[in-house]
Every structure is written in structure tokens, then in C-alpha cells.
Structure 1
Amino acid sequence: MRAVVQRVARGSVTVEGSVRGEVERGLVVLLGVGRGDTDDDAGYLADKVANMRIFEDGQGKMNLSVLDVKGSVLAVSQFTLYGDCRKGRRPGFSGAAPPEEARRLFELFVKELEKYGLKVATGVFREHMTVEIINDGPVTLLLDSKKNF
């Protein structure tokens, strides 16, 4: 499972002209589910996202988590994080999980975040979405449950 995590001042996702999820101060997480990912991967990434210290404290050091700052999370499913661009000019997506399994693990990731008491908004699975991200910092991090990076 892979995630692009961005610290944001604001984020929203719109589907067919209607805002479906939005957050103020917090995180936008673009989440890709890969073939072979398990419930453990969802739990690992949820724990990492909830507790990662990427918000500044009073001294300007990144010492606080989204929990500490009482922020929220906008989670958006994004299978393209498994796009393989090493060969040719069109990405291949054979590394992405099948849609049914990806949906189940995405929803589990959201539930795991909610167990921490976080407010979690989401996009709409398998729909075309417009995602607005006002990155704060900017702070953008890559996570991989298999620890490939």
C-alpha cells in the first residue's frame, strides 16, 4: 500500500460538481492499494499517518502529529500510485489491486484512522474526482507499507 501524504491548510474533493469531502488544517492522503496488500498494510499506514510528526510546534520544529493539532484527514483512493512508467510511454497498472479488494482495504484504512478519533473525509471510489490541495509548507511525504521507500 502506498500513500502520498500532504500537510494542508485546506483540501477538498469534488465529484460531478458537488463537494464530497473537505478538510481544513490537516492531511490529504492519496492512497493506492497494491496486489497482495493485506489488512496489516492498512493498519500500518493508518498508524503512520495518524502519528507522523509533521506539524510544527511552538519552536517551528516538526514535532506534532495530526492528532496533536486536532486536524482532520481527507483520504482519496488513487490506483495510479501503482503506475509503472519504466517501459514505454503509457503507464501500466498491473501492480494495483483489483477494484473490489482495493475498495475493501481503502475503507479499512479509513476505519483505522477513525479509531484514533480523527475526522476523516473521503472522495468517491472509482469516480472521476477533482482534488484541491492547498499544501502547507509545502510538506509532502511518500509512504509504502512494504517499506520500498
Structure 2
Amino acid sequence: MKALIQRVSEASVTVDHQVIGQIGPGLLALIGVEKDDGDAQIEKMLHKLLHYRIFSDDNGKMNLGLEASGGGLLLVSQFTLVADTAKGLRPGFSRGASPEHGRAVFDRLLSAARERLPETQSGQFGADMQVALINDGPVTFMIEV
């Protein structure tokens, strides 16, 4: 499982001209599910999303995780994150999960996140989504578990 995370001032997801997920300050996480991902990867990823120290403490240092910062979490499925881009000019998707498996893993991650952090929003799996954000910093990291 991969996540491209961005510390944001605000972020939203729109489908068919309707906002379906929106947060203020917090973390936007674009999630790519690989074919062998399961409960172990879900738990590791959720731990990283909630505790990765990219939010400023009272001294302006990146010492706080999302939970401690009180921010929101916006999870968006993004199949293209698992692409193999090492060779040629066309991405390969052999490591990616099937749509059924990807949806099941993403839904379990979303459910677990909502249990731990009530301010969790999401996009719509498999939909054509428009994601808007204001990257705070900018601060962006790629996480793989």
C-alpha cells in the first residue's frame, strides 16, 4: 500500500459537480492499494497516517502527528500510485489490486480511520474525482507499507 500525503490548510473532493468530502487543516492522503495488501498493511498505514510527525508544535517544529494536531483526514483512492514507472513511457499496473480487492481494502482503511478520527472524510472509490487542496508548507511525503 502506498500513500501520497500532503499537509493541507483545506482540501475537498468533488464528483459530478458535488462536494462529497471536505476538510479544513489536516492531511490529504491519496491511497494506492496493491494486490497483496491486507489487514497488516491497513493497520501500518493507519498508524502512519495518524502519527506521522508533520504538524508543527508550539515551537514551529514538525513534531506532531495528525491525531495530536486535531486536524481532519481526507482519504482518496488513487490506483495510479501503484504504477511501475521504471521502464519506458507507459506505466505498468501489474502490482495494483483488482477493483474488487482495492475497494475492500480501501473501505476497511476508511472504516478504521473513522473509528479513530471522527474528522475523516473520503472520495468515492472508482469515480472520476476532482481533488482540490491548499498544500500547507508545502509538505508532501510518499509512504509505503
Q: Deviations over 1:25-71 (max 9, x none)?
A: 00000000001111110111001111111100111101111111211
CA distance in 1, matches of 2:30, 2:14: 14
- Is residue 102 from structure 1 mapped to residue 102 from structure 2 by the alignment? yes
User: Aligned-pair RMSD on alpha carbons?
Assistant: 1.0
- Is residue 43 from structure 1 mapped to residue 16 from structure 2 by the alignment? no
- Is residue 78 from structure 1 mapped to residue 78 from structure 2 by the alignment? yes
Greater helix proportion: 2
- Is residue 31 from structure 1 mapped to residue 31 from structure 2 by the alignment? yes
Q: Which amino acid aligns with 1:50?
A: L
TM-score normalised over the length of structure 2: 0.96
CA distance in 1, matches of 2:66, 2:35: 29
- Map of 1:92 onto structure 2: 92
Gaps of 5+ in 1: none
Q: Which amino acid aligns with 1:60?
A: G
- Map of 2:114 onto structure 1: 114
Q: Which amino acid aligns with 1:49?
A: L
Q: Percent identity?
A: 41
- Map of 2:19 onto structure 1: 19
Q: Which amino acid aligns with 1:127?
A: A
Q: Which amino acid aligns with 2:17?
A: G
Q: Is the 8 A contact 1:77 1:106 kept in 2?
A: yes
CA distance in 2, matches of 1:56, 1:18: 32
Q: How far did 1:87 drift?
A: 2.4
CA distance in 2, matches of 1:116, 1:17: 30
Q: Is the 8 A contact 1:12 1:133 kept in 2?
A: yes
Q: Which amino acid aligns with 1:36?
A: D
Q: Which amino acid aligns with 1:65?
A: G
- Is residue 128 from structure 1 mapped to residue 128 from structure 2 by the alignment? yes
Q: Deviations over 1:83-105 (max 9, x none)?
A: 11222222111111001110111
* Bigger shift: residues 115-124 or 69-78: 115-124
- Is residue 4 from structure 1 mapped to residue 4 from structure 2 by the alignment? yes
Gaps of 5+ in 2: none
Which SS does the other structure have where 1:113 is aligned? helix
TM-score normalised over the length of structure 1: 0.93
